Structure 1
Amino acid sequence: MASTSRTPTGRGRGRGGWGGGSSSLPPPPSTLPLIIEEFFIVVYEDPLVKKALPKKFADYLDGQEPTKVYLREADCSPHLWTVEVLFDGQGRMYLDKGWENFSIAHGVDFGCFVHFKYEGDDVLTVKVFDGTMCKKYYYSDDEDTDDESDDDVKPCSHPL
């Protein structure tokens, strides 16, 4: 009996395209379209100054460079933060005016990991993770923010 890469239950490399002929392999990366939907930055310098976004994302927007983007907290209210965008002529893109306000409101500080997801129409959803690599949570806009207690802030569900 000839051996095949399929198992009697249909599991394994023979099913789903990886164990078959070369026609079932995915195309090489150089032939795939450039789609940049998600990226991150790590805050190593003053969190309030303009922030460089990855060059690959700026390249993705080539020919459609916005003058501003709209930042939205992921999984939160529909409130959008308007942030001006600068391009330096060398293919670099920066979040500029408006970034400082967003940073302060969301507690972006040294060591934070900021995840962006491009939603199209110049909208980026943002998640901020603190130095313990746990997602930061925020008070909603309608809550009283004079109380400095953290009782209403969700704790990190998976601390390190």
Structure 2
Amino acid sequence: MASTSRTPRGRGRGGRGGGSSSLPPPPSTLPLIIEEFFIVVYEDPLVKKVRTPKKFADYLDGQEPAKVYLRAADCGPRLWTVEVLFDGQGRMYLDKGWENFAIAHGVDFGCFVHFKYEGDDVLTMKVFDGTMCRKYYYLTTKILTMKATTT
């Protein structure tokens, strides 16, 4: 005859016993931290300002910067200053300065642009083209920088 001994429920790891739970708190009790987001460029990025996701704008609520500093990932320490607009309805836009940044980094219709908020109003970004492959723009940026300094 097989043994019918059973381990009591609610005791041991992860149970309801007197020990501490290893489960994270429910999502509603966690602080809202938005460190990364992406945008899909549906319109010509050189004609229109770019809207960030509402959750990111909500995250910055109360500390709305007048400008942010964009840095291309793997492109060194150069920061591009971009003015920020808030429309009073909870939407945030990257405005003046975005066009120069977009040109220098090959942002075009159909691109996916991934942003990571580094704090201190700095956003690091990566661009992915319509084939979902990352665009590397180090050489292009270096050439543009060289041309600008020699003229």
TM tier relative to shorter chain: 0.7 to 0.9
CA distance in 2, matches of 1:7, 1:54: 49
The Cα of 1:106 is off from its aligned counterpart by 0.6
TM-score, normalisation: structure 1: 0.72
Q: Which region of structure 1 is more displaced relative to structure 2, 72-81 or 15-24?
A: 15-24
Give structure 1 stretches of 5+ with no counterpart.
Answer: 140-160
Residue 80 (structure 1) aligned with residue 79 (structure 2): yes
Q: CA deviation at 1:112?
A: 0.2
Q: 1:6, 1:14 within 8 Å by CA — same for their partners in 2?
A: no
Contact 2:71 2:79 in 1 (8 A): yes
Shift in Å, 1:19: 12
In structure 2, the CA distance between the partners of 1:104 and 1:26, relative to structure 1 (3 Å rule), is same
Contact conserved, 1:71 with 1:126, CA < 8 A, in 2?
Answer: yes
**Contact 2:14/2:21, CA 8 A, preserved across alignment:** no
The 1:46–1:106 alpha-carbon spacing in structure 2 relative to 1, beyond 3 Å, is same
Structure 2 partner of 1:92: 91
- Matched pairs, number: 137
Given the two structures, how large is their TM-score scaled by the length of structure 2?
0.76
- Segments of 5+ residues of structure 2 without an aligned counterpart are 139-151
Change (3 A) 1:12 1:129: farther
Structure-2 separation of matches of 1:24 and 1:87: 40
Partner-residue secondary structure (3-state), 1:24: coil
Higher helix share: 2
Identical positions, percent: 93
Report runs of 4+ in structure 1 exceeding 3 Å deviation: 1-8, 11-22, 49-52
| C-alpha separation in 2, matches of 1:90 and 1:75 | 35
Relative contact order (alpha carbons < 8 A, sep ≥ 6): 1 or 2 greater?
2
Over the residues paired in the alignment, what is the CA RMSD in angstroms?
Answer: 4.5
Q: Report SS of the residue matched to 2:107.
A: coil
Offset from partner CA, 1:28-79 (integer Å, 9 cap, x none): 1100000000000000111113444001001101110000000001122100
Larger radius of gyration: 2
